Amino acid sequence: MSTKDSRDRVELLQGTLDLLILRTLLRGPVHGHAIAKAIEMDSDDVLQVEQGSLYPALHRLIKRAWIAAEEGTSENNRRAKFYRLTAEGRRQLAVETRKWDKLAGAIARILRPSEQEG
């Protein structure tokens, strides 16, 4: 069961979160907790993702076969589930990044028209 407002919040971030996860995995297989940490760090703490929302996103990506999951051990010899990019995922990352850039650029142009008009 979910109340209305939080559903909205998640939906807003859904596509973006997927993209961020894919990007994080570009560097190599990581486990769930590390992905959350990485996103925080890489964004200089701007993005405070509710860590739990990672998991539905991860499973969505698994369902689409853009990432795959494996059992493994982490640094301190703890078991953990590691996620890695698949070839398809790599391709999708490029596509989604391009789309995001386009979107960001368009929004930026609208927000700062003075720069156009110069």
Site residues, other proteins (CB under 8 A): 1-3, 6, 10, 32-33, 36-37, 50-53, 55-56, 59-60, 63, 78-81
Helix, strand, coil percentages (3-state) for the chain, rounded to 5, are 65, 15, 20
For other proteins, the closer of residues 78 and 112 by Cβ is 78
For other proteins, the closer of residues 6 and 43 by Cβ is 6
What is the DSSP pairing of strand 67-73 with strand 30-31? Answer: unpaired
What dihedral angle (degrees, nearest 10) is formed by the CA atoms of 36, 38, 44, 47? -30
Nearest distance in Å: CB 14, other proteins: 10
For other proteins, the closer of residues 33 and 90 by Cβ is 33
Measured between alpha carbons, how far is 68 from 83 in angstroms, rounded to an integer? 6
Nearest distance in Å: CB 80, other proteins: 6
